[in-house]
Every structure is written in C-alpha cells, then in structure tokens.
Amino acid sequence: MTQPLFEEFTTSTDTLRIYAENKLVFTSNKDRLLPLLEYLDTIAPRYKDVIIMDKIMGNAAALLAVLADCREVYSPLGSEFAIQTLNAHHIKHHLGKIVPHIMKPDGSDMCPMERMSIGKSPQVFHKELKNRIKSAG
C-alpha cells in the first residue's frame, strides 16, 4: 500500500504527508521544516506510529520525525546524518538518493538547519528551532 502512495507523493506538489492507521492525517506544500513543525504543534499528540513522506529528509527533519512518533520515513532525498538519527531511534527509512548532508538550494554550503541539528537530541533541536523562529519573526 505504501509504495504507490509514495510514488504519487513524489509527483505531487506536497512537501509533506503523514499517515496514521493507513489514512492521510496531515498534508502540506509549505517549504522547509514548517510543515513538520505545524504538525507537531497541532495534531501530532493524537497519533502514534505514523508514516512520514517528506521531499527532503535531512537530519533536522529526522529529529522532528522522532518527536512525531514516526515509525517509518519515505523520501526521495536523504542525508547520511538523517540515516544515523533514524537508525538510532529505530525508524525504518526508504530514501532514494543519499547525500553526505543536505545543501542550501543554491548548492553553495550545507543547509543551515542540517548544520544546526548535528549532534543535538530531538528535544534540544526542536526547542532551539522554535526559539530561532520566534526571534526571527
């Protein structure tokens, strides 16, 4: 069931889809980590053992997936840092292309969220990310 849903997701404009008990419970086409943060802040407490489909699974997204009580991740692109985090938290992962780390869109440097997330626990990263957004907003 999941593979056809993932194939459909990869061709959609959605950036994130979350499934619980074989039904779609959250979807978004917002950029970066905003969809995962929105999910965590709104409906995440209602669901356990979710499946996350994300267009890019870097370490930052992997840490937030842990907080979302994720059991399985699908993404066309993932980083080696994300794999380490997912493995450490026993989350199954299906990643198309694996890169050492997620890059900025222009390819000039490591993604700032990837850099910020390295070596942090899911809780510490989430708190720092929310503080960063609050001070920027």
Boundaries of every domain in the chain:
2-136
**Distance from CA of residue 72 to its chain's centroid?**
11
For residues 92 and 44, give the distance between their C-alpha atoms in angstroms, rounded to a whole number.
19
Give yes or no for residue 2 having a pLDDT over 90.
no
pTM for this entry: 0.95
What number does CATH give the domain 2-136? Answer: 3.40.140.30
Give yes or no for residue 1 having a pLDDT over 70.
no
Q: Tokens 């997204």 belong to which residue?
A: 61
For residues 61 and 85, give the distance between their C-alpha atoms in angstroms, rounded to a whole number.
10
Q: What are phi and psi of 117, to 5 degrees?
A: -85, -20
pLDDT band at residue 19 under the 50/70/90 scheme: very high
Report the share of the chain in percent with pLDDT over 90. 87
